[in-house]
Amino acid sequence: MIVFDNICFSYGTRQVLKDISFSIESNERVAILGGSGEGKTTILKLIVGLIKPDSGRIGIDKVDITDKTEDELREVRKKFSIVFQEGALFDSLNVKENVAFCLREYTKMSEEEIEEKVGKLLRKVGVEQAMQLMPDELSGGMHRRVAVARSLAVYEPRMFLYDEPTAGLDPVNAENICNLIVDLSKGGIGHVVVTHKVVDALRVVDRFMFLQNGVMIFDGNSYGLMHSAIPEIQIFISELNFNSKENRQFV
């Protein structure tokens, strides 16, 4: 579904991605790992066309989207449901209005229908009690859940994209979010999770990519990741608690 072909990208003079190539099928569950500022979020933004690469081509469903205009990209974006870091909820709208945003924008649903649909979506992600709260009154975990509900409001996505879904969350909330990500991927819907937390990535994906200095230095399964001889990866996996039964089963 997603094909990156020799993608290079720079922020000003700083080159973030250097000749990145990979392909992801729509039913795959992939994590992009790497340190801060390694270009993980940049890859998500490139997938949905929010930014353009300096060179290389990006294909979505065998269609080259590299040079598409904002209007043409609208159809491409409908295939994805993206949850930005910390949710990116509209802070001037309450939870209900955030989730109802796209419904009001694109459908002619009545107030009752919108209320019903919003309630259903919030129940699905487990935050129906927060309907009238403002985003700054939500906890980090609730923020992400509402963002997921909002991204599901209008379109049935073919793939979910998550940007640091568990960053800044306590272990309980992080686990809840991981469970939600796994639940949503049931039925063959794949996802790409950008994270620097290997523990959470192990819970939700089967395939791992590792970015280091703008280069993809690893692309493989959990076994390959855990047994990688690359020092940077070893530093990353050293955060795992190997005494934990749950983590041990992946090794």
Partner 1 sequence: MNIKGLVSDIQDCYLLSIRGILGIFRRPFYFKDTIEQMDYAGAGSFLIIFLVSLFIGMALSLQLSAELSRLGLKMYTGKVVGISIIREVGPVTAALVFSGRVGAGMASELGSMILGHQIDSLRVFGVDPIKKLVTPRILSAVIMLPALTLMGDAVSLFGAYYIAVFVSHQSGYFYWSSIKDILNFENVLAGSIKPFIFGYLIACISCYMGFSTKGGAVGLRKSTTRAVVMSIIMIIISDFILTRILLYVLGFSV
Site residues for partner 1 per CB under 8 A: 45, 48, 50, 70, 74, 77-78, 80, 82, 84-86, 88-91, 101-102, 105-106, 154
Cα–Cα distances in angstroms (integers) from residue 222 to residues 19, 70, 137, 218, 242, in the given order: 24, 37, 37, 11, 14
| Rounded least distance, CB 247 to partner 1, Å | 31
Shortest Cβ 41–partner 1 spacing (Å): 9
Nearer to partner 1, 105 or 111 (CB): 105
Shortest distance (Å) from residue 52 CB to partner 1: 13
Between 80 and 218, name the residue whose CB sits nearer to partner 1: 80
Q: Least distance to partner 1 from the beta carbon of 64, Å?
A: 19
Q: Which is nearer to partner 1, 78 or 120 (CB)?
A: 78
Closer residue to partner 1 in complex, CB, 107/247: 107
In whole angstroms, how close is the CB of 234 to partner 1 at the nearest point? 32
Helix axes 111-125, 95-106, angle to 10 degrees: 130
Taking the complex as a whole, the smallest distance from the CB of residue 48 to partner 1 amounts, in Å, to: 6
Min dist CB 176 to partner 1, Å, is: 22
Q: Please say which residue, 48 or 217, places its beta carbon nearer to partner 1.
A: 48
70 or 112: CB nearest partner 1? 70
- Separation between Cα atoms, residue 170 and residue 53, nearest integer Å: 35
Contacts of 215 (CB under 8 A, 6+ apart): 18, 19, 20
Radius of gyration of the chain (CA): 18
Nearer to partner 1, 74 or 227 (CB): 74
